[in-house]
Structure 1
């Protein structure tokens, strides 16, 4: 992603539309947490929906208009992970989702952090982002507002429940598949590094 930014001459730009969208997503985090903990579900739902839409838009705008930047390459995944973590904890606190789901998803983040630490000791700054990881994040960011909506009553809640859990299960599976793919990538890199002449 950083190479793409250098090619378009926007690597060091800060105030781009995609970056502003990512910053706004981060600013929405405390609002969401306050809303869900105080049972203001309408506001929490709006913030979550806004997060999912802006996550799609910032990447789309960055690629379409050559606005990919180094800051954006950091902000976007950080915003994704913080939203997932905050939403998981908020929904579990409200008993909308089970705590084991929190453990499974946080466990994957711990696993990925260990991989990244190993990669950095071998000279790699980061692991390349691939489609499966983005698909997993997409599924989870769409699952959470649906599961929050499903906590209510009436027809919308009835429809939202199976769809929300469908997105959640796909997200969990793809999240771990992506983690294992990162592990395989790192293993191949380490093997190549060992076999190459010094």
Structure 2
């Protein structure tokens, strides 16, 4: 856990404009722009096929922007913020639409949203003590990865018939349960890191 940087500190980071124009960050911005389109497709015309395709493209670009950032040496602080933000917004948009359309049960949404609210409050406490947010854990990355597979599978199998749907449905349920468990576990790990940092700060 590290202390938060001051507002004027740059640590050699390029300007915001230069960070925005890197290929990985442009891909992240493209993913962010797709979130309202994705939500509209699900709740407006209910074009599930196009929504599924957009979610798949988002997953591919999520993998691609991280790969390109390392290959092109274009890893930036902005990119480290945009990438998880896009993931969370897609998950939030999908959960909202799926809940309204009855694709996933309410308790799945309640667990995931509750986790976000609790961790968000913990981060506010951490910020008040002068700490930067904790590093993303491998469990957290794994949870997001699994949920990004679970969501299109849920969409693919909802009210669908045929061999493909029957084969995919158990995988949709398995990925959903696994993703929820990992998401809650990662939240517990973040809270542990936050509590440990705050207690050390108070006793120092």
Kindly indicate whether residue 191 of structure 2 is the aligned counterpart of residue 183 of structure 1: yes
Which of these residues, 83, 86, 93, is aligned with residue 93 of structure 2?
86
Give TM-score scaled by structure 2 length: 0.88
Corresponding residue for residue 116 of structure 2:
109
Following the alignment from structure 1 to structure 2, what is the Cα–Cα distance between the partners of residues 51 and 115?
29
Mind listing any 5+ residue stretches in structure 1 that lack a counterpart? none
Once superposed, which parts of structure 1, at least 4 consecutive aligned residues long, lie more than 4 Å away? 9-12
Distance 1:106 1:156 in 2: 31
Structure 1 length as normaliser, TM-score?
Answer: 0.90
> CA separation in 2, counterparts of 1:31 and 1:187?
38
Q: Quick one: distance in 2 between partners of 1:49 and 1:105?
A: 21
Cα distance between partner residues in 2 of 1:174 and 1:141: 13
Q: Point out where structure 2 has 5 or more consecutive residues left out of the alignment.
A: 1-9
CA deviations 1:103-157 (Å, max 9, x no partner) are 1110011011011001001001312111110110011111000110011221121
Partner of 1:195: 203
Partner of residue 54, structure 1: 61
Alignment of 1:8-87 (within 5 A): 12=16, 13-37=19-43, 38-87=45-94
Q: Does 1:156 align with 2:129?
A: no
Whole-Å Cα distance in 1 between the matches of residues 139 and 96 of structure 2? 24
Aligned to 2:7: none
